[in-house]
Amino acid sequence: MEIKADTTVCIGAGMCALTVPAIFDQSEEEGTVVVLDSTPPAELEEAVHRAVTLCPSGAISVV
């Protein structure tokens, strides 16, 4: 699993950071998504998929 984030699409809702704070954060300058670990451990895969689903702008994807 590899996480991709498009900051040009991100609206800064923060659902990703709230859902999986070990993997996602928000930029202090723009409030957009910051991926802390693009290849998360297997035990966080379900939570990452939930964050992708909850993202209102579709800025996060999993490959």
pLDDT of residue 53: 97
pLDDT of residue 46: 97
- Residues 6 or more apart whose Cβ sits within 8 Å of residue 51: 15, 16, 19, 20, 23, 24, 60
- Residues 6 or more apart whose Cβ sits within 8 Å of residue 49: 62
Angstrom distance (rounded) from CA 1 to CA 48: 10
Q: What is the pTM of this model?
A: 0.94
Angstrom distance (rounded) from CA 59 to CA 42: 22
- 4-49 tens-digit pLDDT: 999 999 999 999 999 999 999 999 999 999 999 999 999 999 999 9
